[in-house]
Amino acid sequence: MKLLLLLGLVALAQCFHKVPLRKGKSLRQALREHGLLERYLRDHPYNPASKYYASGGVSSEPLENYMDNEYFGTITIGTPPQEFSVLFDTGSSNLWVPSVYCSSTSCANHNRFNPSASSSFVSTSQSVEIAYGTGSMTGILGYDTVNVAGINVANQIFGLAETEPGDFFYYMPFDGILGLAFPSISSSGATPVFDNMMSEGLVAQDLFSVYLSNNGQSGSFVLFGGVDSSYTTNGISWIPLSAETYWQISMDSMNLNGEAVACTSGCQAIVDTGTSLLAVPNNALSIIQSTFGANSNGEISCSVVSSLPDVVFYINGQAFPVPPSAYVIQSNGYCTLGFEGIDIPTQSGEIWILGDIFIRQYYVIFDRANNMVGLSPLS
């Protein structure tokens, strides 16, 4: 049995342009060294239970890491397909892309959807307006076939941007946004893409998982319908959601050197792939900056970075550390804490956003079937 498995792996590796499997190296390592891992994950998504499903599957969407600030992938909309790069955002729920109706400067240098060029497009008279922490859009809603990670979602409702005020989206490397949060926060009541995947039986399991690479490296992905066990060897901690809106959880505290310094009486947190930093209430930001001896811009001396402690988030009674190499941003000789202030008014009280700085330390499973978030340490 072991010999057959080995021969199968060698044959598979040879299919990828004669990738050599040197002694002591796994197939994953060999493919990564030759720049083929991303393609392998896309074409051969991991799904240990797929043989038990009559329909639906597991599909991997490769993400491009843009300077550790944004992670985006490619989708198509329409017949024939029109291609767009979108930010896969667990902090919002709508899909939208620029349209040919948009005259804003931000639309001019991005791909724009042309409904008249798609034979499967269905128009509506319904408008949509979305405001993010940075940037906003207004437009109209329509229906068309959307392909994500090789999954065709028929009659998917999406926004066609007519205005993108300001210049934020002008400078973004992606065209639009694909929201992966819950329908309850979807603008204009539009059904999110993943909800349609689930209802149409297009995924093997009602969950998706995310890996975000470090230091601008490749290999990031969203895996729809499954979990890649090679990223969960350190075990999975499951955290129940506190609200089915964002991927919102209850956090116990944020600790340094064993002492709670913020969120000391508990708070709410959002696990958000669409936020680059750790976004915290402004009162907490002041405490954090003071504790680290940072100025009001969050700058600290680069000479002290190596001696800084881990920032430890206690969630559901468990510790989730983030090392200084992750939460300190070093650029052009300056060192800045990767925290930003943001006040989000909710019925749940103050909200923290655990953005990409946090997510890069963990393989994250977003489980809609059980309304839980799974975190598996990557180191």
The residues assigned a catalytic role are 89, 272
Q: Using CA atoms, how far apart are residues 93 and 80, in angstroms rounded to an integer?
A: 25
Strand 70-77, strand 311-315: pairing = unpaired
323 Cβ contact partners less than 8 Å away, ≥ 6 residues apart: 310, 361
List the alpha helices (DSSP H) in the chain. 2-15, 27-33, 37-43, 105-108, 193-199, 282-292, 324-327, 356-359
Structure tokens at 20: 């050599």
State which H helix or E strand residue 97 sits in: strand 95-98
Helix (H) or strand (E) holding 334: strand 334-337
Instruction: Verify cis geometry, omega within 30 degrees of 0, for the bond prior to 80.
Output: yes
Contact 102, 161 (CB under 8 A): yes
* CA gap 23, 231 in Å, rounded: 22
Asked if residue 22 lies in contact with residue 202, where contact means CB atoms within 8 angstroms, the answer is no
Cβ partners under 8 Å of residue 345, min gap 6: none
Only one residue has tokens 């009674």, namely 317
